[in-house]
Amino acid sequence: MRGDKIGLIGPNGCGKSTLIKLLLGELEPKKGTIAHGTQLEVAYFDQHRATLDETKSVAENVSTEEFITLGNSKKHILGYLQDFLFTPDRARQKVSVLSGGERNRLLLATLFTKASNVLVLDEPTNDLDMETLDLLEELLTNYEGTLLLVSHDRTFLNHVVTSTLVFEAGSVREYPGGYDDWLEQRKKAKGSLEQTATARPTGKKKGGRKRSNKERSELNHLPQLIEQLETEQKSLHQTMADPAFYQQKKDEIAAITARSEELPKKLEAAFERWEELEGQ
């Protein structure tokens, strides 16, 4: 519905991006139909990101005009960029000198100049430093249109979305609230099923086989592992957002960059394993 902020949750390959492309009309459904509302203005920010023009200034990448139109009002380009934490001096500099965090803020600034009543974001938090992450969270919270958000960032989903579409066991189910709300609702549903199974003397436990001691131990340690990985990821993002980061030796930059690319995969694997063990 108009104004909903919906998160899409599920492991890689389950169909989240495919669903987005179906809704955007980039793919045709093999079965069924898709009904679109009228007067849709969609802004799409995908996980591959737009390419910035390195030879132009920050301001020129957003607009070649001195004033930009935002809804029913106009704003000076330098004033607009200050909302994205660019000082007037920084806004006049070439994109080539920007840090990773500044580049991401510039991409967001470009996105929010587009008139839209539907905003689609596919993994927008990848490689964002904490400052930019807080800015994006505030922008999305205040966004008046409809939001579709694909993300593995648990905290970000909790803070932004009003409901989640979860890809689980070959189906898609909707849950009110964010990531933690989904886990809590699923836990309650599982507890209810187990109570029903216990009340039937001849029935089998709904959850299937019992967890082994090793699996119980793994399940107990997974939240701590996830917290450690998330803390390391935030720390790396802050390091890479510093312009001085790119003045280090190439092998040091490569090592940190490789680790930053590895961490989202490790986090996703940990979440998937947690969901798998919780579902037993």
Q: 120-166, pLDDT tens digit by residue? A: 998 888 777 788 888 899 999 989 899 999 988 888 999 999 999 98
* Interior/surface letters 25-56, b for 16+ CB within 10 angstroms, e for the rest: eeeeeeeeeeeeeeeeebbbbeeeeeebeeee
Which pLDDT value is given to residue 193? 43
Where residue 136 falls (left for φ over 0; alpha for ψ -120 to 50; beta otherwise) is: alpha
Averaged pLDDT for residues 263-274? 81
**pLDDT reading at 169 higher than 70:** no
How many angstroms separate the first and last alpha carbons of the chain? 34
| Class of the domain covering 5-168 | alpha beta
Structure tokens at 71: 């809804």
**pLDDT reading at 219 higher than 70:** yes
Which one is the CATH code of 209-280: 3.40.50.720, 1.10.287.380, 2.40.110.10, 2.102.10.10? 1.10.287.380
Instruction: Give the pLDDT band (50/70/90) at residue 198.
Output: very low
Task: Return residue ranges of the chain for CATH 3.40.50.300.
Answer: 5-168
Task: Return residue ranges of the chain for CATH 1.10.287.380.
Answer: 209-280
Which pLDDT value is given to residue 88? 94
